[in-house]
């Protein structure tokens, strides 16, 4: 038993419930993930189970990682992640986990990297409103406007909402419901949206 899996965002679609209501769905590929290391307090200082996802060519794997995978008797993996152990479960390297870990109605936390928007203005980044376009406004309708008074406090406060880097950060969405588990395709159908673009790596935690 695992606390979660590494997966991939496949895309979004919709399904209809028995009353004909639309449910927005994100399709996730959940694993398969193979156990590459079992960490213990005695040896590593903490308990955890490390799993790998997606095959990596041996020629693209450096020697330390290759030795790590050889020790576990598994093929090289692209993505590694650690999860807490389930105390009653006996983990062994080489064990395989997939979408069968989940069942319909489960609630999961999903962590991913949000879409990057580069350097963005305050309207896109902070949802500011446009300024009026009359009375000599000129070309500053999308500008942020005043950012502080002059004589007092004579400075701009830290955290002021201004243009800057937007997106491409780690985001966790909590309590998304698993609507359907497709074990044949190894996919989860989750209600709602998930951070990131298609084919981005996500961490699915129970």
Residue 48, pLDDT score: 93
Contact status, residue 73 vs residue 63, Cβ threshold 8 Å: no
Residue 201, pLDDT score: 95
Residue 45, pLDDT score: 94
CA distance 159 to 166: 14
Residues of the chain with CATH 2.40.30.10: 4-118+170-205
137: left (phi over 0), alpha (psi -120 to 50) or beta: alpha
Predicted confidence pLDDT, tens digits, the chain (206 residues):
778 999 999 999 999 988 999 999 999 999 899 999 999 999 999 999 999 999 999 999 999 999 999 999 999 999 999 999 988 889 999 999 999 899 999 999 999 999 999 999 999 999 999 998 888 888 889 999 889 888 998 999 999 999 999 999 999 999 999 999 998 899 999 999 999 999 999 999 98
pTM given for the model:
0.85
72 phi, psi to nearest 5 deg: -85, -5
Class of domain 4-118+170-205: mainly beta
Sign of CA dihedral 159, 163, 165, 170: positive
Residue 88, pLDDT score: 85
CA distance 167 to 120: 9
Q: Which long-range contacts (CB under 8 A, 24 or more apart) does 124-131 make?
A: 124/166, 125/161, 125/163, 125/164, 125/166, 126/161, 128/161
Residue 63, pLDDT score: 94
């Amino acid at each position: 038993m695992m606390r979660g899996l590494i997966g991939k965002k496949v895309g979004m679609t919709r399904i209809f419930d028995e009353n004909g209501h639309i449910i927005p769905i994100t399709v996730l590929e959940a694993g398969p993930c193979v156990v590459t290391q079992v960490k213990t307090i005695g040896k590593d200082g903490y308990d955890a189970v490390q799993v790998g996802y997606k095959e990596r060519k041996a020629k693209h794997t450096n020697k330390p990682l290759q030795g790590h995978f050889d020790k576990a008797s598994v093929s090289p993996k692209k993505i590694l992640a650690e999860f807490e152990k389930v105390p009653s479960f006996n983990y062994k390297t080489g064990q395989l986990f997939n979408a069968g870990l989940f069942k319909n109605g489960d609630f999961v936390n999903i962590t991913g990297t949000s879409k990057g928007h580069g350097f963005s203005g305050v309207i896109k980044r902070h949802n500011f409103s446009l300024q009026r376009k009359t009375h000599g406004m000129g070309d500053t309708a999308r500008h942020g406007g005043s950012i502080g008074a002059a004589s007092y406090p004579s400075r701009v406060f830290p955290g002021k909402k201004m243009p800057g880097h937007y997106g491409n950060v780690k985001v966790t969405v909590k309590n998304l419901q698993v609507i359907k588990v497709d074990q044949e395709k190894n996919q989860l159908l989750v209600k709602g949206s998930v951070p990131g673009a298609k084919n981005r790596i996500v961490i699915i935690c129970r």
